[in-house]
């Protein structure tokens, strides 16, 4: 028995409003779910009454020559269905987001609430908070479900992820370069939440460091220091997988320090940022594994690691032992304040390396050892 086609459904997407489109990245191919090009995301349901489903309508024009009127007829695209011949009961066309300057205070609060940000304060405070999120490419601003980047060029592979160079094809970064980080398998993809937690904590520390530098220079009448920005990734849906996408850092890329205590001499401000994070968190955090671009007026960092006393920030969190390593090799410089907290008698606990070190979570026994070390650490 032949299948009977439901006239209410688009033949291209069978009523789903979307189709799967292959998207190659290196030697892999991912299937993205994209809006159906036939029905625009909503299945056509009824014939257009203006053209009776033809997509064109006849128009009669009167041409006057020598006082005599000549009727002329021609077919034009129907202005009701735009030539499709069918109309949709409900089109789900994307609504353009308002500019922040055009939003009311209520609309600003709604946007901030979606991103789980603070919604209190005056309209000026809401505007500043929303613009900051927008300018720093906050990962919570949008969850992409369609491809917005070109085919990727393979760059390198890390322990857990493959990295590709891509070009944004739409949106505010159209034609700009970006970085596309694909987790190697579904198991390592579970680390994405820990990555985002580390990025959020790093953003909080960097914001405080910038405020400290501004106040320090203002009080002493010194020229402003370079600001530090964090390249925050967005989470995109790629079929049933999640990937991280962020803008490409232009210029020379450098590694400033690692999460095992290695230091790249000549970047004193970055070493001071790591020291500041320990002081700012009252000895509970240490921002490290700093890397990115250094420019005349600012730094842009990406993929930092956060060390914590309780190992809260994933596989790059080396805990108390790596905090010891950092201070064993750290030499305070002109950007450090003598009043900042530091370990009094740090010791080298492990070999240092310039690359990122990974510290998989161990068994209950290692957790007990970490708890014992934590008690000792609090006495330092």
Give the orientation angle of helix 268-280 with respect to helix 319-329, to 10 degrees. 130
* pLDDT for the residue 87: 57
Check if the beta carbon of residue 166 is closer than 8 Å to that of residue 180.
yes
Are 1-62+73-91 and 192-378 equal in CATH topology? no
End-to-end Cα, the chain, rounded Å: 81
| Strand pairing class (285-288; 253-255) | unpaired
Buried b / exposed e over 251-279, threshold 16 CB at 10 Å, is eeebbbbbbbbbbeeebbbbbbbbbbbbb
The residue ranges of every structural domain in the chain are 1-62+73-91, 192-378
CATH architecture, domain defined by 1-62+73-91: Ribbon (2.10)
Query: Where does residue 304 rank: exposed (0-12), middle (13-18), buried (19+ CB within 10 A)?
Result: buried
β-bridge partners, 61:
72
143's CB contacts (< 8 A; 6+ apart) are 235, 236, 237
Structure tokens at 338: 């003598």
> Each residue's pLDDT tens digit in the chain (380 positions)?
333 344 445 666 666 566 777 766 666 676 666 666 665 555 544 567 777 777 777 767 666 666 676 666 667 777 666 566 665 443 333 334 566 777 888 888 887 776 556 788 888 888 887 776 654 433 333 333 334 555 567 777 766 778 888 887 776 677 788 888 887 766 666 677 888 889 999 999 999 999 999 999 999 999 999 999 998 888 887 666 778 888 888 878 899 999 999 999 889 999 999 999 999 999 999 999 999 999 888 999 999 999 998 898 888 999 999 999 999 999 999 999 999 999 988 999 989 998 888 887 653 333 444 444 444 444 44
Overall fold of domain 192-378 = Protein kinase-like fold (3.20.200)
Q: What is the model's pLDDT at position 88?
A: 47
Question: What pLDDT shows up at residue 366?
Answer: 39
What confidence score (pLDDT) does residue 334 get? 94
């Amino acid at each position: 028995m032949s299948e009977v086609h439901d006239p209410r459904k688009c033949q291209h997407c069978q009523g789903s409003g979307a189709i799967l489109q292959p998207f190659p990245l290196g030697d892999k191919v991912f299937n993205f779910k994209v809006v159906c090009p036939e029905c625009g995301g909503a299945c056509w349901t009824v014939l257009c009454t203006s053209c009776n489903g033809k997509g064109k309508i006849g128009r009669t024009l009167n041409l006057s020559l020598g006082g005599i009127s000549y009727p002329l007829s021609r077919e034009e695209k129907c202005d009701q269905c735009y030539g499709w011949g069918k109309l949709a009961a409900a089109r789900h066309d994307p609504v353009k987001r308002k500019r922040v300057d055009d939003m009311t205070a209520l609309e600003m609060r709604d946007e901030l609430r979606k991103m789980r940000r603070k919604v209190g304060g005056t309209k000026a405070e809401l505007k500043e908070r929303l613009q900051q999120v927008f300018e720093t490419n906050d990962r919570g601003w949008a969850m992409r479900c369609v491809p917005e980047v070109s085919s990727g060029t393979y760059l390198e592979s890390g322990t857990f992820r493959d990295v590709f160079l891509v070009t944004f094809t739409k949106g505010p970064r159209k034609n700009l370069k970006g970085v596309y980080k694909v987790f190697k398998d579904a198991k390592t993809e579970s680390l994405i939440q820990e990555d985002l937690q580390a990025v959020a904590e790093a953003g909080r520390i960097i914001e405080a460091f910038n405020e400290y530098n501004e106040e320090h220079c203002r009080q002493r009448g010194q020229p402003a220091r370079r600001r530090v920005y964090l390249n925050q990734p967005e989470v995109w849906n790629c079929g049933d997988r999640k990937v991280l996408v962020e803008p490409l850092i232009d210029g020379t890329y450098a590694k400033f320090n690692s999460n095992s205590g290695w230091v790249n001499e000549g970047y004193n401000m970055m070493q001071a940022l790591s020291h500041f994070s320990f002081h700012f968190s009252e000895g509970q955090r240490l921002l490290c594994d700093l890397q990115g671009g250094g420019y005349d007026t600012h730094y842009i960092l990406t993929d930092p690691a956060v060390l914590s006393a309780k190992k809260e920030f994933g596989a790059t969190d080396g805990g108390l032992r790596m905090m010891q390593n950092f201070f064993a090799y750290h030499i305070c410089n002109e950007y450090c304040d003598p009043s900042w907290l530091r370990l009094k008698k740090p010791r080298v606990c492990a070999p240092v390396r310039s690359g990122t070190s990974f510290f998989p979570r161990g068994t209950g026994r290692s957790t007990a050892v970490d708890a014992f070390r934590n008690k000792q650490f609090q006495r330092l």
